[in-house]
Chain A
Amino acid sequence: MGSTSSTLLKIPNVEVLMQETGFSPAHIIRLHDRFKALDKKGRGHLCPQDFGAIKELAMNPIGDRIIGAFFSPGKETVDFHTFVKILAHFRPVDKNRPKEPNSPEPINSRSNKLRFAFQLYDQDKDGKISRDELLKVLRAMLGMQVTEEQLESIADRTIQEADLDRDDAISFEEFRKVSPEILHSRCFIKAPVIMLMERDC
């Protein structure tokens, strides 16, 4: 596989990246290989079509939303650093992280994971999940399997339960309150060799 240090050296600012994301050198190399494999034209960045070429992602009901999460508004490309930073959301939570008062919150904190999920719903990025946005997600996840009325009932009931300030939308704080158990065994990824599966986030 070649020496690890030489591959690492080819990636600019890799030290900063490792510190910000908490990935180990082996993880970074693995992700770099993956990035290069996805970047079929070898341009050094990925565009939405590169993600679209992943078959399993195309099969995913919310595949296009996940792809959208990688691209900041207005940007058509994502470079390796951004790629890794977004994926860092899915690292298991570091249970033994010392609480340094001045250091920024790690990307894989509970709060940031929830924020990631929130943004999957809140596509217009106005800080609230409107009834319409909720309906769109429900439609994506359930497809033709349920009727329009059932979808609307589910949406209404969900908003009723979560919306505390009665503005007919769910803000991030309200979202947080409704999803305390959100993280249990669902928010981490277990796929590659080196990312270990942990039962808790």
Chain B
Amino acid sequence: MESYLFPFDSLICMLLGISFTVLFTLLLVFIIVPAIFGVSFGIRRLYMKSLIKLFEVSELMLSMSVILQRGGAEPEFDMSDIFYFCRRGVESIVDDEVTKRFTAEELESWNLLTRSNYNFHHISTRLTALWGVGVLIRYGFLLPLRVTLAFTGVGLLVVLTSIVGLFPNGRMKNYLSDKVHLMCYRICVRALTAIITYHDSENKPKNGGICVANHTSPIDVIILASDGCYAMVGQVHGGLMGVIQRAMVKACPHIWFERSEVKDRHLVAKRLSDHIADKSKLPILIFPEGTCINNTSVMMFKKGSFEIGCRVYPVAIKYDPRFGDAFWNSSKFGMVNYLLRMMSSWAIVCSVWYLPPMSRMEGEDAVQFANRVKAAIARKGGLADLLWDGGLKRGKVKEVFKEEQQKLYSKVLVGNIWPTFSYEQNIESV
């Protein structure tokens, strides 16, 4: 028995070996090397565009399926079909692409992730098959790829920052530290297949200031830090997080607080001000909200960061939930669970706006200043015209889409009606 399994054994080993090598080479060439140099092949954007098309088609099919499900073997025109178009029209009046994406719980276009569509039931074989293929791709191919990348990114971060830490303080060290941090964050960005669009980069935070952003998920840090160098603020953790923190602080000064120190507001404020006063140190990245909110509103900004009296650089981050819900409900899911969900989504698409710097005005107290900054961020991230499609010409899409709706509707109807008519016509001719 064992003897004739043997040749298969070595064959399998060989195949596995080859596929690993191929995978790793691809990884290196297409993902890691560009990350090091900060260039992009544009693969992710292409991927995003194809996903959008796919989602739109599946959404159309899903909504038309309601007509298909109408009782009886042959759907025929019904006067109430007008309601199908009417509903879609009214939905777009009440919500549009900007306001629509407001909740972690509902999703208009069923983006082939069951966890998003809570009312999923078997509607059409084709859609279910599509979903099944999606699961295979996401869990069988994308997830392992991304996990490998994530480990690579984090591992490199720890190792390289420790190495940089051995250098004497000075310009060389800062330069290297910046490069290392950027490179590792870029690898992590690719590990999540995050497609980020940065707007208004001329307002990027500079030394001696605080960068303040709205907080949706732990990923926010990676998203911002892959485009600029910041000093992080946070509590000292144990475990893997602690290892990373200790390594990072060797290369450049981040601000990590012990648990006990966090309660002491004066101490916190002092450390922050000292950091800012030193112009050679990087801008501090702070998320004033403290907890993750689901990207719909910018909650109460805690005033601590605004009392320090330096320039504040607001940043608005908005995720496109069509591609995967980035919201972390920390009471429901743990960090590992959350990261797994992120890595098995299709992609993470978001936009980052750098807003012009703001300072506290005369006669304004910290709370009022905080609210002013908060309003600026909310305005930018909430009501701005978000071009999620990455440049598809709007005009063209409009016309084609109306036609597509008509086509689909007519297929549903006429495909079935016409045979009836020809039958009647035959009877008449006889």
Contact = CB atoms under 8 A, between A and B. Distances in A.
Given A142-B406, A146-B414, A60 B94 contact: no
A87 interface: yes
Contacts of A60: 85, 88-89, 92, 402, 405
A142 B94 CA distance: 25
B8 to A, nearest CB: 52
Interface string B392-409: 001000100111011101
Interface stretch (B71-79, B198-206, B231-239, B271-279): B71-79
Interface in A134-170: 137-138, 141-146, 150, 153-154, 157-158, 162, 170
B211 to A, nearest CB: 23
Contacts, number: 157
Given A54-B92, A153-B421, 15 more contacts: A37-B99, A54-B96, A55-B394, A59-B398, A59-B401, A61-B85, A61-B409, A62-B86, A62-B89, A87-B90, A150-B418, A181-B71, A182-B83, A191-B91, A192-B95
Nearest to A137: B82
A7 interface: no
A8 interface: no
A70 to B, nearest CB: 8
B383 interface: yes
B410 interface: yes
5 contacts: A138-B77, A158-B77, A179-B78, A190-B106, A191-B100
Interface string B413-430: 110011001000000000
A162 B83 CA distance: 17
Interface string B55-92: 00000000000100011000001111111111111111
Interface string B214-252: 000000000000000000000000000000000000000
A138 B82 CA distance: 9
A183 to B, nearest CB: 8
Interface size class on chain A is 35 or more
Interface in B351-409: 383, 394, 398, 401-403, 405-407, 409
Nearest to B119: A197
B291 interface: no
B414 A62 contact: no
Contact of A193 (B83, B103, B407, B414): B103
B258 interface: no
